[in-house]
């Protein structure tokens, strides 16, 4: 009852303002309005002051409205001037009143000017807006109200002007290292003030486009007049980038605990992006604020640790919807919904700070941003109210595509993580980009037609760097040509032919610059060659044009190609529905106005504005003008050369499998047969007034719709965009019904699981040991009875695909998969069956005890290896055993192990593990799928995880550094070590604690192996890749050649090595570099190359241990070279001399391994080979 009476009294106080003409002298009424019981929740507060009452107050009692503003400002000033006497409820009430009434004041031009009318303050004339922003800025750093007092000896601060607000930055991050304590009440108070600031900045959405003072609130707030401008910028940025909505990852934790940070982060992000808005203002205007210090500070950030903090924060928040959608438990992870504001922030960071954009593009981290963007635009493609989000994402990708590094990074393999609605494929991020863009174009949403040029411009920009497109992506590209080159589409609008020009430029770029590796695209072009022949022979006479357009009318509107209408006069897109309203945006700018470089067909626009109207009619002269410019020469020459070759090889060899044709194309070349390569044309984004207006409209449209609790701008007369009220779908409320009952879940008993797995394993072992080995041996040869003709008799399937392949005979891509699988399974059954008795005995003796419940990361789940005994591997380990035995004395002295002659092992666990490690490293040369032998069981018996890390490290380190090791000369050794580590991590035998312990102490070790830290960190971050099929990249071989030939400097090589991020191949890179330099027989070249290697090791680009092993491997390989390379031994002596004496890169022990060239020459001479 008391609460209802309080609300009633508050409403009566508001109504009195509208009923009494002048209440400026009635202090009692004002005190009642700001009374201690007047502050409710924000939504209740807004409901207590309805819109009609505010407008009535504004129109009928303007003096009362003006007095109300002054009274609110007085309360805020009193709190600022006497913080020790601050009444938080009164301050919050004043802030909410202003937040509620200001939007309605902005509706009228006279009231907008009211805030900028000078008010006497001492000797100065200060506008009310300046005073309000100054007070709010001070209160954002008020100890006890919005920040925690640093001096614990003081309870309150008497004067806010005496404190340094830079010491009270809200969050650690850019420019600030101290992490303030958490305080939910402070977060709430900050959010209230920021919402009022955002309301003040929103004056722009009520003003006409021609008003030069639309940004005066923002200009004042971000100017030098605001003494808190630096800590405010830093606080807003750090609060946004430091936020982690998932936290420790406990499922459904957000339902149990209230997240007091999310509202603050959301409004802070919105204020930040609004303050990063600017437009050219004439100096001397009435605001007087020329420079935006928020933009200035953002552009001056340059430290890599700051860039890393910003990038990780933005990536984490952008990826949050993907993570919440990919969980096994529905809705178990908290989902944040301000990804649209994050895209705007990312755009601002890249636009105003080129160094930040270059940092993003420098590594593959840019792909961690690209994938969420593609996810969001793919999800929104069928929703006409979310087209603004698609535009924002595409514009951001366009900005990035203007840089070479973006195209290069797209070649990284894409591992499906995000729940993006695309067909399953094996390929790169470039394939994902093309597939998603193809879906956007063919989705049938007419509001996306204005984006077609932009989407294809992005593909054109990256096409010169795409090394290997998948078959799926190649089909999508050719399908677009097929759709866009139909006569009715080309003749239906004046600019439609531009799309074909873009696509032909894509093909030309790939053919001229990336022919090797793109056999899938070349094959698709050959298979669909009729599309290009028809385009080349396109009729342009008036009769043919009229016939094409008339035939168009008879087509079904449900035809997919029919959806690819010309982008003529597209309607203004809308942004997402939220709270039952949508906001229309400004018309999308044309891509030609957003980019700098133009092709010939873009420069010569043949049509006028009248021709672009609905009454425009194509003419023969118009069609012929652009047809002669079609860049078909390269493609037609390719078809002229390759089509006869492909047809001939198919006839001669009777090929029916496309894989054989692809192999032929992979080894083919068109060097000297194609026209002279054209220069690469990259269209970079260029800011202009049109695009700035679009981004501003989109930003404020998002902010308008996101602020519905309370509804700050709802039902106000907004001028910037059009508001449409839409019925809210009930689907939003059905999610609650699908929430699982977490408390009712009962986990299975681990012992029951272990017994069930044990019984299953026993049954499999008995089955495999009953005479199937012969059959397995037969099928293990790789010649399965099913073969590749099992699909359709000839390895072909007849299908009508969605990408425009009308019934073509396409070879089955999976025709060989069965035979390969059969071979592997047969081989496995043979090995297990051979030793089933021993393995079964071992399983019985282990029982459930194999599921050790050790503390601190002990093995909990029971796992049965395919090979429980390494003797099941039918291979010779003589060399390994000899090496292990020769080193056993050293191990025994260190660990005190005792020998057991009956089993041939030592009782010392660490030595047994080392034995298994060496056997794994040896066997993995032959097969990357070799199991872990007994390593998991032995490691599970080690109580301390630190001991687990140490024993693995010592085993690998010994084999890695020791010149006598049988592994160290193998170029694949580092990769096999990484493979071993990844398998151990996947077994759950190294927890995050052990990983952190190793990484923190790795630098203290004399010669750390970088690959261990690399793999362990990758596992700890959840980025573990499958290293089984990882091969030595050809880029490293080329990098060594470029370094030796002088095409690249050491610093450039360092950047490339960092970008590749494959430290387990660094030693082989050293081998290649030394070998290539020795081939030159040039002392100067060798000296320079060694200097570059020294720089790379000094700066830790290549670890010292990797250099040592690479050097050792090079010296071991020298005597094994063919007689024509005898000079390499002499060059090796020269290399050792420089490395030992001049650069101090090696020690005497390593130098002693250098081969004797004289002895080698005599040896070869005696055999008569010279």
Domain-terminating residue out of 114, 146, 172: 114
Task: Say what the pLDDT of residue 944 is.
Answer: 59
Q: Residue 234: CB partners within 8 Å, gap ≥ 6?
A: 166, 169, 173, 174, 175, 176, 297
The residue-averaged pLDDT of 722-748 equals 37
Rg (CA), the chain: 36
Number of domains in the chain: 4
C-alpha 196, offset from chain centre: 34
Task: Pick 89 or 944 by higher pLDDT.
Answer: 89
Residues 436 and 552 occupy one common structural domain: yes
Task: Pick 971 or 679 by higher pLDDT.
Answer: 679
DSSP string, 675-736: PPPPPP----B---HHHHHHHHHHHHHHHHHH-BTTBSSTTS--SSS-EEE-PPPGGGGGGG
- The answer to whether position 242 is within a domain reads no
Q: Is 67 within 8 Å of 24 (Cβ atoms)?
A: yes
User: How many helices (H) and strands (E) would you count in the chain?
Assistant: 54, 10
pLDDT tens per residue across span 704-720: 988 888 889 988 889 88
Task: Say what the pLDDT of residue 919 is.
Answer: 64
The residue-averaged pLDDT of 402-428 equals 87
* Phi/psi of residue 574, nearest 5 degrees: -115, 160
The enclosing H or E element of 124 equals strand 124-127
- Among 314-323, 484-493, 837-846, the range scoring the smallest mean pLDDT is 837-846
Measured CA to CA, the distance from residue 1028 to residue 930 in angstroms comes to 10
Highest mean pLDDT, choosing among 190-194, 214-218, 1054-1058, 1059-1063:
190-194
pLDDT tens per residue across span 458-483: 999 999 999 999 999 999 999 999 99
pLDDT tens per residue across span 129-151: 999 999 999 999 998 899 988 87
pLDDT band at residue 947 using 50, 70 and 90 as cut-offs: low
The residue-averaged pLDDT of 903-922 equals 56
Pairing of strands 581-583, 427-428: unpaired
The residue-averaged pLDDT of 1140-1160 equals 73
Asked whether the predicted pLDDT for residue 1141 surpasses 50, the reply is yes
Task: Say what the pLDDT of residue 1071 is.
Answer: 85
Asked whether the predicted pLDDT for residue 428 surpasses 90, the reply is yes
pLDDT band at residue 415 using 50, 70 and 90 as cut-offs: confident
What token pair was written down for 484? 């866009």
Measured CA to CA, the distance from residue 1089 to residue 400 in angstroms comes to 35
Measured CA to CA, the distance from residue 917 to residue 108 in angstroms comes to 79
- The answer to whether position 565 is within a domain reads yes
Looking at the chain, the whole-number percentage of residues with pLDDT higher than 70 is 59
Q: Is 347 within 8 Å of 392 (Cβ atoms)?
A: yes
* CA distances from residue 602 to 477, 496, 591, 599, 941 in whole angstroms, order as listed: 21, 12, 10, 5, 70
Residues 409 and 519 occupy one common structural domain: yes
Measured CA to CA, the distance from residue 36 to residue 970 in angstroms comes to 79
Measured CA to CA, the distance from residue 579 to residue 576 in angstroms comes to 10
Q: Is 1151 within 8 Å of 1140 (Cβ atoms)?
A: yes
Domain-terminating residue out of 972, 989, 1020: 1020
Asked whether the predicted pLDDT for residue 859 surpasses 70, the reply is no
Asked whether the predicted pLDDT for residue 223 surpasses 60, the reply is yes
| Dihedral sign, Cα of residue 457, residue 463, residue 466, residue 472 | positive
Residues 559 and 621 occupy one common structural domain: yes
Task: Pick 1126 or 989 by higher pLDDT.
Answer: 989
Asked whether the predicted pLDDT for residue 994 surpasses 70, the reply is no
| Dihedral sign, Cα of residue 58, residue 62, residue 65, residue 66 | positive
The residue-averaged pLDDT of 796-806 equals 37
Measured CA to CA, the distance from residue 360 to residue 370 in angstroms comes to 11
pLDDT tens per residue across span 763-779: 544 433 333 333 333 33
Asked whether the predicted pLDDT for residue 556 surpasses 80, the reply is no
Task: Say what the pLDDT of residue 1024 is.
Answer: 46
Buried b (16+ CB within 10 A) or exposed e, 1022-1047: eebeebeebebeebbeebbebbbeee
Looking at the chain, the whole-number percentage of residues with pLDDT higher than 90 is 25
Domain-terminating residue out of 644, 666, 688: 666
Closest by CA to 327, choosing from 253, 412, 436, is 253
What token pair was written down for 1127? 């000079």
| β partners of residue 121 | 124
- The answer to whether position 779 is within a domain reads no
DSSP string, 3-71: HHHHHHHHHHHHHHHHHSS--TT-HHHHHHHT-TT----HHHHHHHS-HHHHHHHHHH-HHHHHHHHHH
Residues 21 and 109 occupy one common structural domain: yes
Task: Say what the pLDDT of residue 933 is.
Answer: 56
- The answer to whether position 174 is within a domain reads no
Q: Is 216 within 8 Å of 292 (Cβ atoms)?
A: no
* Crossing angle of the two packed helices 1104-1117 and 1066-1079, in degrees rounded to 10: 50
pLDDT band at residue 231 using 50, 70 and 90 as cut-offs: very high
Residues 1065 and 946 occupy one common structural domain: no
pLDDT tens per residue across span 87-133: 888 899 899 999 999 999 999 988 988 998 887 655 567 889 999 99
Measured CA to CA, the distance from residue 618 to residue 608 in angstroms comes to 12
3-state secondary structure of 899: strand
- The answer to whether position 642 is within a domain reads yes
Task: Say what the pLDDT of residue 599 is.
Answer: 58
Residues 1015 and 1054 occupy one common structural domain: no
* Phi/psi of residue 1169, nearest 5 degrees: -100, 0
pLDDT tens per residue across span 1038-1068: 888 888 888 888 888 888 888 877 776 787 8
Asked whether the predicted pLDDT for residue 169 surpasses 80, the reply is yes
Q: Is 327 within 8 Å of 308 (Cβ atoms)?
A: no
Asked whether the predicted pLDDT for residue 2 surpasses 80, the reply is no
Highest mean pLDDT, choosing among 610-619, 625-634, 938-947, 1146-1155:
625-634
Identify the CATH number of the domain in which residue 1155 sits: 1.25.40.180
Asked whether the predicted pLDDT for residue 1162 surpasses 90, the reply is no
Measured CA to CA, the distance from residue 949 to residue 956 in angstroms comes to 11
- The answer to whether position 804 is within a domain reads no
Measured CA to CA, the distance from residue 60 to residue 64 in angstroms comes to 9
Measured CA to CA, the distance from residue 1133 to residue 471 in angstroms comes to 50
| Dihedral sign, Cα of residue 351, residue 355, residue 361, residue 363 | negative
Asked whether the predicted pLDDT for residue 545 surpasses 60, the reply is yes
Residues 20 and 57 occupy one common structural domain: yes
Q: Is 909 within 8 Å of 940 (Cβ atoms)?
A: no
- Among 470-474, 553-557, 654-658, the range scoring the smallest mean pLDDT is 553-557
Half-sphere exposure of 1158 (CA within 13 A, CB side): 0
* Phi/psi of residue 810, nearest 5 degrees: -110, 125
Task: Say what the pLDDT of residue 445 is.
Answer: 75
Task: Say what the pLDDT of residue 932 is.
Answer: 59
Q: Which long-range contacts (CB under 8 A, 24 or more apart) does 569-574 make?
A: 569/614, 570/446, 570/447, 570/449, 570/450, 571/446, 571/447, 572/722, 573/384, 573/387, 573/388, 573/390, 573/391, 573/447, 574/384, 574/385, 574/386, 574/387, 574/388, 574/447, 574/724
The residue-averaged pLDDT of 171-175 equals 90
Q: How far apart are the first and last CA of the chain?
A: 111
3-state secondary structure of 581: strand
Q: Is 645 within 8 Å of 423 (Cβ atoms)?
A: no
Task: Say what the pLDDT of residue 726 is.
Answer: 52
- Among 316-330, 494-508, 613-627, 973-987, the range scoring the smallest mean pLDDT is 973-987
Measured CA to CA, the distance from residue 521 to residue 479 in angstroms comes to 12
- The answer to whether position 285 is within a domain reads no
Task: Pick 809 or 431 by higher pLDDT.
Answer: 431
Closest by CA to 1028, choosing from 1151, 885, 927, 914, is 927
Q: Is 714 within 8 Å of 725 (Cβ atoms)?
A: no
- Among 90-104, 914-928, 1129-1143, the range scoring the smallest mean pLDDT is 914-928
Task: Say what the pLDDT of residue 958 is.
Answer: 62
* CA distances from residue 770 to 125, 152, 651, 781 in whole angstroms, order as listed: 100, 79, 47, 20
Task: Pick 967 or 573 by higher pLDDT.
Answer: 967
The residue-averaged pLDDT of 922-932 equals 56
- The answer to whether position 860 is within a domain reads yes
Q: Residue 1164: CB partners within 8 Å, gap ≥ 6?
A: 1123, 1126, 1170
The residue-averaged pLDDT of 657-672 equals 81
Task: Say what the pLDDT of residue 838 is.
Answer: 36
Measured CA to CA, the distance from residue 222 to residue 215 in angstroms comes to 11
3-state secondary structure of 797: strand
Measured CA to CA, the distance from residue 799 to residue 317 in angstroms comes to 42
Q: Is 955 within 8 Å of 884 (Cβ atoms)?
A: no
Tell me the pLDDT of the chain averaged across its residues: 72
The residue-averaged pLDDT of 221-232 equals 92
Task: Say what the pLDDT of residue 547 is.
Answer: 87
Residues 510 and 570 occupy one common structural domain: yes
Residues 1067 and 958 occupy one common structural domain: no
Q: Is 234 within 8 Å of 141 (Cβ atoms)?
A: no
pLDDT band at residue 3 using 50, 70 and 90 as cut-offs: low
pTM given for the model: 0.61
User: DSSP label at 906?
Assistant: E
Measured CA to CA, the distance from residue 554 to residue 559 in angstroms comes to 11
pLDDT band at residue 750 using 50, 70 and 90 as cut-offs: very low
Q: Residue 437: CB partners within 8 Å, gap ≥ 6?
A: 455, 458, 459
Asked whether the predicted pLDDT for residue 896 surpasses 50, the reply is no
Asked whether the predicted pLDDT for residue 293 surpasses 70, the reply is yes
Q: Is 922 within 8 Å of 880 (Cβ atoms)?
A: yes
Measured CA to CA, the distance from residue 744 to residue 739 in angstroms comes to 12
Residues 1099 and 1012 occupy one common structural domain: no
pLDDT tens per residue across span 232-291: 999 999 999 999 887 655 555 555 566 788 899 999 999 999 999 987 544 444 444 458
Asked whether the predicted pLDDT for residue 868 surpasses 60, the reply is no
Domain that holds residue 545: 363-603+616-666
CA dihedral 437, 441, 442, 443 (to 10 degrees): 90
Residues 570 and 432 occupy one common structural domain: yes
User: DSSP label at 182?
Assistant: P
Residues 1044 and 1008 occupy one common structural domain: no
Measured CA to CA, the distance from residue 373 to residue 1063 in angstroms comes to 30
The residue-averaged pLDDT of 804-819 equals 37
* CA distances from residue 58 to 29, 43, 63, 111, 1103 in whole angstroms, order as listed: 18, 22, 8, 9, 72
Residue with tokens 């004496």: 1141
Task: Say what the pLDDT of residue 835 is.
Answer: 37
Measured CA to CA, the distance from residue 176 to residue 239 in angstroms comes to 12
């Amino acid at each position: 009852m008391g609460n209802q009476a309080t609300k009633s009294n508050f409403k009566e106080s508001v109504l009195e303002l509208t009923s009494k003409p002048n209440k400026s002298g009635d202090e009692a009424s004002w005190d009642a309005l700001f009374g201690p019981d007047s502050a409710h929740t924000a939504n209740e507060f807004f409901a207590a002051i309805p819109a009609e009452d505010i407008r009535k107050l504004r129109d009928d009692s303007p003096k009362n409205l003006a007095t109300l503003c002054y009274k609110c400002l007085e309360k805020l000033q009193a709190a600022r001037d006497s913080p020790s006497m601050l009444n938080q409820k009164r301050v919050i009430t004043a802030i909410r009143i202003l937040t509620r009434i200001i939007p309605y004041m902005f509706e009228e031009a006279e009231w907008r000017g009211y805030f900028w009318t000078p008010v006497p303050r001492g000797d100065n004339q200060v506008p009310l807006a300046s005073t309000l922003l100054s007070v709010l800025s001070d209160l954002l750093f008020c100890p006890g109200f919005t920040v925690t007092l640093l001096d614990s000896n003081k309870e309150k601060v008497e004067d806010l002007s005496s404190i340094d607000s830079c010491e009270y930055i809200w969050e650690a991050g850019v420019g600030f290292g101290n992490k303030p304590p958490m305080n939910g009440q402070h977060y709430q108070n900050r959010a209230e003030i920021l919402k009022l600031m955002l309301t003040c900045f929103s004056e722009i959405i009520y003003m006409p486009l021609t008003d030069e003072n639309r940004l005066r609130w923002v200009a004042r707030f971000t100017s030098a007049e605001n003494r808190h401008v630096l800590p405010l910028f830093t606080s807003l940025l750090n609060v946004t980038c430091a936020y982690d909505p998932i936290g420790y990852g406990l499922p459904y934790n957000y339902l149990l605990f209230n997240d007091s940070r999310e509202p603050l982060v959301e409004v802070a992000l919105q204020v930040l992006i609004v303050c990063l808005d600017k437009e050219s203002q004439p100096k001397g205007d009435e605001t007087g604020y020329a420079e935006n210090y928020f933009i200035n500070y953002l552009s001056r950030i340059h430290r890599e640790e700051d860039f890393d903090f910003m990038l990780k924060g933005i990536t984490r928040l952008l990826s949050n919807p993907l993570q919440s959608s990919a969980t096994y438990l529905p809705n178990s992870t908290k989902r944040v919904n301000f990804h649209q504001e994050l895209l705007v922030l990312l755009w601002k960071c890249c636009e105003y700070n080129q160094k930040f954009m270059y940092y993003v593009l420098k590594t593959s981290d840019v792909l961690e941003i690209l994938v969420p963007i593609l996810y969001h635009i793919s999800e929104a493609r069928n929703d006409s109210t979310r087209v603004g989000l698609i535009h924002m994402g595409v514009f951001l990708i366009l900005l990035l595509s203007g840089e070479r590094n973006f195209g290069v990074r797209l070649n990284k393999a894409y591992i499906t993580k995000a729940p993006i609605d695309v067909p399953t494929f094996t390929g790169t991020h470039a394939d994902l980009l093309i597939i998603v863009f193809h879906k956007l174009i063919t989705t049938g949403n007419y509001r996306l037609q204005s984006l077609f040029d932009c989407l294809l411009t992005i593909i054109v920009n990256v096409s010169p760097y795409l090394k290997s497109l998948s078959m799926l992506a190649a089909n999508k590209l050719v399908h677009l040509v097929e759709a866009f080159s139909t006569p009715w589409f080309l003749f239906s609008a004046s600019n439609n032919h531009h799309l074909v020009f873009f696509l032909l430029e894509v093909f030309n770029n790939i053919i001229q610059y990336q022919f090797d590796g793109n056999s899938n695209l070349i094959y698709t072009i050959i298979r669909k060659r009729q599309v290009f022949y028809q385009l080349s022979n396109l009729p342009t006479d008036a009769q043919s044009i009229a016939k094409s357009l008339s035939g168009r009318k008879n087509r079904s509107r449900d035809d997919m190609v029919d959806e690819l209408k010309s982008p003529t006069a597209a309607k203004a897109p809308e942004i997402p529905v939220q709270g039952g309203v949508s906001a229309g945006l400004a018309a999308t700018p044309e891509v030609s106005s957003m980019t700098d470089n133009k092709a010939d067909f873009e420069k010569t626009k043949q049509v006028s504005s009248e021709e672009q109207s609905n009454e425009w009619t194509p003419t023969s002269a118009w069609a012929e003008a652009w047809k002669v410019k079609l860049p078909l020469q390269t493609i037609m020459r390719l078809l002229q050369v390759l089509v006869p070759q492909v047809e001939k090889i198919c006839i001669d060899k009777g090929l029916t499998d496309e894989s054989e044709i692809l192999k032929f194309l992979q080894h083919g070349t068109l060097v000297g047969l194609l026209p002279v390569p054209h220069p690469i044309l990259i269209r970079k984004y260029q800011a202009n007034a049109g695009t700035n207006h679009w981004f501003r409209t989109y930003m404020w449209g998002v902010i308008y719709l996101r602020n519905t609790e309370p509804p700050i701008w709802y039902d106000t007369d907004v001028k910037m965009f059009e508001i449409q009220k839409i019925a809210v779908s009930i689907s939003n409320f059905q999610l609650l019904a699908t929430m699982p009952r977490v408390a009712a879940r009962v986990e299975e008993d681990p012992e029951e699981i272990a017994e069930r797995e044990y019984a299953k394993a026993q049954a499999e072992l008995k089955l495999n040991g009953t005479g199937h080995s012969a059959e397995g041996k037969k099928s293990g040869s790789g010649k399965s009875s099913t073969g590749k003709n099992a699909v359709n008799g000839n390895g072909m399937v007849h299908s009508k695909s969605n990408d425009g392949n009308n019934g073509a005979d396409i070879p089955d891509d999976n025709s060989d998969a069965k035979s390969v699988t059969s071979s592997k399974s047969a081989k496995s059954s043979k090995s297990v069956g051979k030793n089933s008795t021993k393995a079964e005995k071992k399983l019985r003796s282990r029982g459930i005890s194999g599921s050790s419940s050790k503390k601190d990361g002990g093995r909990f789940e029971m796992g049965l290896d395919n090979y429980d005994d390494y003797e099941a591997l039918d291979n010779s380990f003589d060399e390994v055993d000899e090496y292990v035995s020769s080193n056993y004395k050293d191990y025994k002295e260190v660990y005190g192990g005792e020998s057991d002659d009956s089993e041939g092992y030592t009782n010392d666990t660490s030595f047994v593990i080392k034995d298994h490690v060496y056997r794994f490293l040896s066997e993995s040369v032959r097969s990357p799928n070799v199991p872990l032998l007994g390593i998991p069981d032995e490691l599970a018996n080690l109580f301390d995880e630190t001991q687990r890390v140490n024993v693995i490290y010592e085993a690998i380190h010994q084999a890695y550094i020791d010149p006598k090791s049988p592994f160290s000369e193998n170029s694949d050794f580092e990769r096999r070590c990484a493979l071993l580590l990844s398998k151990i991590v996947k077994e759950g035998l190294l927890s995050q604690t052990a990983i952190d312990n190793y990484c923190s102490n790795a630098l203290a070790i004399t010669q750390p192996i970088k690959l261990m830290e690399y793999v362990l960190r990758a596992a700890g971050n959840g980025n573990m890749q499958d290293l089984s099929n990882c091969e030595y990249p050809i880029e490293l071989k080329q990098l060594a050649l470029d370094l030796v030939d002088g095409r690249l400097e050491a610093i450039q090589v360092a950047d490339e090595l960092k970008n590749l991020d494959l430290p387990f191949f660094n030693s082989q890179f050293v081998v290649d570099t030394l070998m290539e330099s020795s081939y030159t027989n040039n002392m100067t070249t060798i000296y320079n190359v060694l200097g570059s290697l020294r720089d790379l090791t000094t700066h830790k680009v290549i670890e010292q241990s990797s250099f040592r092993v690479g050097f050792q491997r090079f010296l071991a390989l020298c005597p094994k070279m063919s007689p024509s390379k005898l000079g390499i031994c002499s060059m090796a002596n020269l290399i050792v001399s420089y490395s030992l004496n001049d650069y101090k890169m090696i020690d005497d022990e390593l130098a002693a391994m250098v081969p004797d060239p004289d002895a080698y020459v005599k040896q070869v001479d005696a055999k008569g080979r010279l």
